[in-house]
Structure 1
């Protein structure tokens, strides 16, 4: 199923859950705090460059943030509210239409297109891709191109922040292709795996007191943390930090998610002269 179909008008309408789920303050605040800090570092570096403070000026400059798959503005809107200029890239027009009920084009400009190839004008200190969205790219080649696209948008020393779940294949007994990931009142999440191609399809069953149930399916290509780091290296990044969650918990073998910050190399303070 194409992503344009998956993220159509109906999905955009159901995506926002103000105050709960992905929009709960305890879920949203840590990642917004972290992105705002990275943007502040970028702004300080820009001021340092303007002031000709060479040591500080080698840090990333700019201060504006770019969000891949900006969606309905779950992260972009509160980040812009912190005074950080935010631009988005989004392939779903219905999701952007939903975003426009919260912020206009001047506040959060959005370029329509996919996050692996689409260019946004300008340069950015942080580029971020949160809540597992890189897995919506269904081939390894597309995922590598996503890293390269992030690198193209970043100033020297800029950071690419990626939030992703860790595949839970240890929960998959031999010979079984599906696991129940969540089971609660009115909702069951069932994941089916294709371990040969690193594919998983999430089946979301929603039901009430009737005999009817609604099924929504979303395909993903899961990525191991070490594979993600290698993709970053292929695009010219170095791993700066890797944690288990948005609050900075150390990553361990038991972690179910990770938040990785990959950084581009710093530009030389004084390029070498020819012949030296």
Structure 2
């Protein structure tokens, strides 16, 4: 599976779930609040801006936002919400595309760095963030913690979510640090729909080393956007890196 195969027009049309899931106010509001704080009145750059879930409300809060996005279809959905003058977006790969100007903040949310399927690409993502930031600027990453402790010996899959109408099944390739997420959606009929997405999972310590290679140091790590304590039991983290 290539990224262009995943983030196509069909996916883009169904991506937004206003008021629910990752678009729920209790999920989105703390994210935007924290990013406003970290931007400190400066410009912000969102890698993989998608349909503008975070970028649009952040811009509405007065933060000048620029986006980078690989999928033309996702940009098309964003453009239905806001025009180029209000929120410019460059089409292309977040590991290489250079946006004009300098930024106080760069950010990459909702596990998206794991969509880069090699360690080299993930390191280049950090380096590209560093190229955009002023000295002392911050790069923020939201990422899940690999659930390998839930993977019994000899098994290759974990069940991540079981909800009414939805099951998430993750299959692991532990040799290459790859995981494929299988999203099953269904209703009262006998038919189900499957969507799949490949990822390269990253341990927090490995993420910190990637940051060091690009000239960053870890400033803070919390379990969520509201500043909860990150522990061995945390399922995800929000890590803030500062450019030396």
TM-score in terms of structure 1 length: 0.87
1:273 maps to what in 2?
Answer: none
2:92 and 2:101 mapped to 1: Cα distance? 16
Counterparts of 1:120-199 in structure 2 under 5 Å?
A: 120-199=99-178
SS in 1 for 2:210: helix
2:230 maps to what in 1?
Answer: 251
1:269 maps to what in 2?
Answer: none
2:88 maps to what in 1?
Answer: 109
2:190 and 2:38 mapped to 1: Cα distance? 49
| 5+ long unaligned stretches in structure 1 | 44-62, 266-276
Aligned: 1:218 with 2:228? no
- Count of matched residue positions in the alignment of Structure 1 and Structure 2: 244
2:39 and 2:122 mapped to 1: Cα distance? 24
2:239 maps to what in 1?
Answer: 260
2:5 maps to what in 1?
Answer: 5
Shift of 1:145: 0.2
Shift of 1:250: 1.2
Larger gyration radius, structure 1 or structure 2 = 1
| 5+ long unaligned stretches in structure 2 | none
2:78 and 2:95 mapped to 1: Cα distance? 21
TM-score in terms of structure 2 length: 0.99
Structure 1 moving runs of 4+ over 3 Å: none
2:25 maps to what in 1?
Answer: 25
Shift of 1:137: 0.1
SS in 1 for 2:211: helix
Counterparts of 1:84-95 in structure 2 under 5 Å?
A: 84-95=63-74
CA RMSD of aligned residues (A): 0.6
1:257 and 1:211 mapped to 2: Cα distance? 34
2:112 and 2:156 mapped to 1: Cα distance? 23
2:39 and 2:200 mapped to 1: Cα distance? 30
1:260 and 1:201 mapped to 2: Cα distance? 23
Shift of 1:232: 0.1
1:230 maps to what in 2?
Answer: 209
**1:135-188 CA distance string (max 9 Å, x none):** 000000000000000000000100000000000101000000011111111111
1:99 maps to what in 2?
Answer: 78
**1:56-85 CA distance string (max 9 Å, x none):** xxxxxxx01000000000000100000100
Counterparts of 1:60-71 in structure 2 under 5 Å?
A: 63-71=42-50
2:171 and 2:202 mapped to 1: Cα distance? 15
2:38 and 2:169 mapped to 1: Cα distance? 36
Greater strand fraction, Structure 1 or Structure 2: 2
